[in-house]
Amino acid sequence: MNSLLRLLATALVVLSLAACVQSPPASDILDEVGANGLLTPRAILARYVDAVGGEEIIRSHSSTLLRGRFELSAFGIEGDIEIYSRAPDHVAQNIELSGLGSIHNGYNGEVGWNVDPLQGTSLLEGDALADLIQQSDYYLPLSLGQAVEQETEEVTQVYGNDAYKVRLTDERGKDSVLYFSTEDGLLLRSDTVATTPLGEIPTSTMLLDYRNFAGYLQPTSIVVNQAGQEFSIEVTEIVFDTATDADFEPPAAVRSLLN
């Protein structure tokens, strides 16, 4: 379950994958077409930055608090969720599940951790830690184009909407496939492979019902499917620029491991 939550942070600061859009894109970039006759990844990612509000809006904030409801409907499990994120790369996720207890995971720029009532407490390392660090990029929409390899593969359907299918490969050789609406440029879906204690597991995240929060469009309905297990988050509140150091302090159980 923790690997799913790590992926979600990426959906809502929206999803971290990996040139980088550093200034308002020129119209020729927005309309750039590749040899296959489709918009280039650079054009699609530039349109995405514009769609969520533009670089100025994205950079105007330095932290985000998301509150919502978590539901694992197949098992009748639900609870409250809070996700804190802060520039440049901090994230902390907390879920309170009725009847099960609390799940916490995060990265504070130095240490990545998991705490949950089923798997116990652990420090992240290897690919699991690398995934979380990559996904913790606060200014993610401006960094998506830093992939070593980028390709617009086709126009396909996502929830009945036409979408550009873009494959990004990072320096580790790890692929992420993103689907962007051809109509409004928003990210609709992300497919990747999550590193978990059980191995590498394909994971798909749907990003739905975008709403405007202080000029920054954010998905408020997120559905994640991992190995046939589906859970959802319904966002009830997003607050900017209130996070403090204390919000990213590892839980006591994690500090015990560090000591």
Domain 2-258 sits in CATH at 2.50.20.10
Nearest alpha carbon to residue 176 among 31, 11, 52: 11
Is 0.95 surpassed by the pTM of this model? Answer: no
Please report, in tens digits, the pLDDT of each residue of the chain (259 residues total).
Answer: 433 344 444 443 333 333 333 334 455 789 999 999 999 999 999 999 999 999 999 999 999 999 999 998 878 889 999 999 999 999 999 999 887 888 999 999 999 999 988 788 999 998 888 888 888 889 988 888 787 899 999 999 999 999 999 999 988 888 999 999 999 999 999 999 887 666 788 999 999 999 999 999 999 999 999 878 899 999 999 999 999 999 999 998 899 888 7
Q: How far apart are CA 174 and CA 59, in angstroms?
A: 27
- CB 101: neighbour CB atoms within 10 A? 13
What are the structural domain ranges in the chain?
2-258
Q: Could you please report the per-residue DSSP string of 88-139?
A: TTEEEEEEEETTTEEEEEEE-SS-EEEEETTTEEEE--HHHHHHHHHHT-TT
**Contact call for residues 132 and 112 (beta carbons, < 8 A):** yes
Please list the residues that pair with 68 across neighbouring strands.
81, 235
